[in-house]
Chains A and B, each alone.
Chain A
Amino acid sequence: MNTNFRNDLDYVNRVRGQMNKNQLMLCYRGEMSQEIVIALLNLTENKLNQTNDDSTIKTRVFSVMVECLQNITQQSKESIHAKSNLFMVGYAEHGYTVYSGNVVKKENVEELRSRILEINTMTEEELKEFYKSLIKNESLSGKTGFGLGLIHIARKTGNALEFNFEQIDTDHYFFSLSTLVDH
């Protein structure tokens, strides 16, 4: 960080500007661990409890958060990019938005993209079936992917998953996911 506080202050203002513009309440950037996940959940729970929102929406926000955090934790395990993990919670007009971001390998981008697009076109019933089939396959192969988490999020919110891939170097992309949890 700059030793010149004029620059630092300018920085504080830029961060605040971004927080306000995007209606964010909490941002965390860095490595994920069980401990950090719990601490972030506590922090958000506490914050949500101060609002007058009914407990249904709070529970849904909470479960979307758990999925996102678990997903980042899994995907970034032993990655040199684990420090770039991002998790944010913000207000939306009729609820909240949960954002997550992490670095993914180039070869995984297409699979992830098509998986999300597929989920976004499915009806509730189709999602349920898809979920079941994935659980079966994954328990057979012993492999757990992000697929389940994504379906879970889609089912919980009933909203389309919004996502973006931003190339950061020849082999890596920054994957952002935004989930609206509303009434």
Chain B
Amino acid sequence: MELENSFETKSSYQKQLSHIYSFHKLMDENDIMLVYCGDFSQELNKTLLSFTERKFKTENVEDNTRRKIFNIMVEVLQNISKNKVDAGENIPDFEAIFMLGTNNNDYILISSNLIRNEKIAPLQDRIEQVNSLDKEGLKNLYKEVRLNASFSDKAGAGIGIIDIARKSENKLEYSFVEMNNEYSVFSFLIRITKQ
């Protein structure tokens, strides 16, 4: 959006401002309430979390659900931070994004960020695995991975995903889109059903 130019003629800034309305409609389409784009530092994650806490407290969302949303959000934001890549050669120009929404049935958390291609397989396997399990199965998997994680760091990989699946109680939705031979975009959508 070229603001400098937009001052030149009235019609051009009218056009630019109609973007605000179309963005409103775009968010409305899927009941999105918050979109954040940029870097996810620890400080920023904290404010995003506190925003969500305040938002749901004012809406009188019950404690149990609020805790679930909070815990899942912590995992999601950590995952974005963990995969942070600094701009450089062969790195696609891409900003991570986080969205929060609520419709009649669910609270929805969406993240989308770059991920190194070699990390895709273990992550995808883990998501497919948790999606195939029921509540009891997830509990057992969690215990098992926790136990192994105390012996090696690697075995604990993806424990966040199990945690998310347990709290969401819905199938996790995801996609990977390859950007180049090193990086892909990982998009992740988590629902928490309203009670």
Contact = CB atoms under 8 A, between A and B. Distances in A.
Q: Does chain A bind chain B?
A: yes
Contacts of A21: 1
A164 B17 contact: yes
Interface stretch (B47-55, B72-80, B159-167): B47-55
Interface in A145-174: 160, 162-164, 166, 174
A50 interface: yes
A124 interface: no
Contact of B106 (A1, A25, A163, A178): A1
B103 A1 contact: yes
Interface residues of A, number: 53
A28 B34 contact: yes
Interface residues of B, number: 57
A42 B47 contact: yes
B112 interface: yes
Contact of A12 (B1, B23, B57, B187): B187
Nearest to A3: B173
Nearest to B19: A22
Interface in A104-153: none
28 contacts: A1-B30, A8-B30, A15-B35, A15-B99, A16-B95, A16-B97, A18-B22, A19-B35, A20-B95, A26-B36, A29-B34, A35-B54, A35-B55, A35-B57, A36-B55, A36-B58, A39-B50, A40-B51, A43-B48, A47-B38, A50-B41, A86-B24, A86-B27, A101-B20, A166-B18, A176-B18, A178-B13, A178-B20
Interface of B: 1-4, 6-7, 13-14, 16-24, 26-39, 41, 43-44, 47-48, 50-51, 54-55, 57-58, 95, 97, 99, 101, 103, 106, 108, 110, 112, 173-175, 177, 187, 189
